[in-house]
Structure 1
Amino acid sequence: MAALPYWRLSAFYFFYFALLGGTAPFLALYFDHLGFSPARIGELIAIPMLMRCVAPNLWGWLGDHTGQRLLIVRLGALCTLLCFAGIFLEQSYAWLALIMATHAFFWHAVLPQFEVITLAHLREQAARYSQIRLWGSIGFIVAVVGLGLLFEWLSLDAYPAALVAIMAGIVVGSFWVPNAQPLQRPNVPEQGGFLQQLRRPGILAFYLCVALMQLSNGPYYTFLTLHLEGVGYSRGAIGLFWALGVVAEILLFLLMARLLQRYSLRVVLLASFLITALRWLLLGNLAQYLPVLLLAQCMHAATFGAFHAACIHFVQRSFADRQQGQGQALYASLAGIGGALGALYAGYSWKGLGPAWTFAIASLVALLAAFVIATRLPPERP
């Protein structure tokens, strides 16, 4: 068996999620810096999420039918960089909307295919996935802390150049990773194709909850930075608060293999949704109190860490090898639909209803997902 290319895989996750660390906390801040209203900000941030409804499924189908997943990752990374570089030409609403759509179409081609490649390298060591994925969390931390400090020293006009530098790292990382193909597993039936596998008990309920989780994340990823600025925190401190959430996520990833040995995916997902519901109430109503904010950010271990790792394992166990790319792509697409709807509703409700009610709606959505998981996801068979 070939040696696991741990550092090459980890480096790619580092740069990929560093880009998320550059966009999630600061993209709304940059658009606010350009003078856009909350509604326009919500729309611009929703566009990349909407592209996740189309792009991952198209690229996932192409990857499964051609087997050229690594080529798709490399082309996607390169085209992401080239499309986003257009932001240097103009900053009108229409042009930024086009930039958001085109670069996201290729960016969302990358991760689902790379997840399949990573799991193919891991083979029977799939429980080590979290040990590799945690480097993505480290990349996120480096980005949010570094950019938070940078924007205290420099104008937000430097923001596009910082993102382009991170995108260049993704391109280099994609060319450093060796290829791998999933092994054929006789214990997972392939007959009937992808759509028939979707009709198995609990699969559609799982994907519905993926969309609901990202819908509930809408206010967090769109307006948390502006919300914390509004209650008196500095940009440098806000970067540290984002980083704290990801540190908690990293610690969770380190424990995830043990948790999945002890608890079922159903239990892990249910706990994630319940903790998420509480977290949004704390952020919406009590973020001005530092101990409460620190506790809420530590809950990111469940909101993202446990949820994402459990979802990746669920998809891997639920689909045959020839449908792995489509299964991961559908996960990304449903997350995109939920995230886009979350960004849109947050943009429209932020000014009218205020942060507390906007986060309260998110909490109710997370509780609905918990109910679906508890009643519709069947217990796992040994």
Structure 2
Amino acid sequence: MGEISDKVYWVWLSSIPGIGAKRFYYLVKRFGSPKAVWECTTDDILDACRLIGDKVVQNVITHKSAVHLKRAQKIAEDPAIKVITLIDDEYPKLLKTIYDPPPVLYCKGQPLKETPFMVSIVGSRRTSEYGRQMAEKLAYELACAGVTIVSGLARGIDTMAHRGAIRAGGYTIGVLGCGVDVIYPRENKKLFMQMEQYGTLISEYPPGTQPAASNFPARNRIISGLSQAVLVVEAGSTSGALITVDFALEQGRDVYALPGNVTSPYSSGTNQLIKEGARPVTCADDILEDLGITVNKKAKQPSMTSYQLDIFEMEVYNALEDGEKQLEELAAITGFDIGRLNAILTLLEMKGIIKQLPGGKFVRQCMI
């Protein structure tokens, strides 16, 4: 195999099933380095059984083979993937301070950057149109101000946060619960490719690792660990995004939440966070002020036409303030008959102010 770098041993040890960050650091502390773990005897490994468990010990013994080391070397030398270990200068300093930082980060796309201001935007996979719009809008405005947007590339809020950052021409980091060479979810293939071009995909899991439910809670500690603050845009009471909040609080990060409709199950988690002390966010400036960033507001806003609405159009627009509505709901709120309401909705759609969703629902397309 030729000369083997220390980085290969880091990849080898961290790739063993069941190791995880805590067991990795225990073995390195006990033996001195990942290379020393590779070189130790089977009896030495068996002595460690009490603290890392029989199954993991057997995995270590099984993986002490030339085949597994060669695989690790192939990964470490892959030009398409940058491998960063905890002792490398490129390892994010803020992430290094958390309780159990990942020993190895696999990166794809642009070189991983640790910028002065980094904010995580997270939320549920199942979202309302209000949540999706606000996630993109807030990410766009933060990215325009020079803030790096960190999220998990999942469907829903994560997707919109990355899109907003890319649309702003900003830098964004996607933290995966699978290998950086695995596109998940599949419908995000286009976004995945955009992230490679404009941002960075990272994972603590080696290339080829398929998504598993157990990977995502651990992934969330990296999302919060990379950031000074975490913003939860929309989350139900059992959303996995709340796990990220728990990690953020443990790590001493600031937590923000977007207020939502009190009758919407999509916002029950975020509204509860606000009751428990999370700072409510209604615009990007709420976060930018805390970060000490002053922004030229004219430069920050996306370019759009200044819309002039008559009183009837404004009434329908206002009726959509708290999210999507069926035609019958809008008729009940505004008092307009169906024929007149359809005419107003058509005009608003032509102006690009609202759009019709599947199922006959209408929702705001932009803020005016």
The TM-score bracket by the shorter chain reads under 0.3
TM-score with structure 2 setting the length: 0.26
Q: Which has the larger radius of gyration?
A: 2
TM-score with structure 1 setting the length: 0.25
Question: Which has more helix, going by share of residues?
Answer: 1
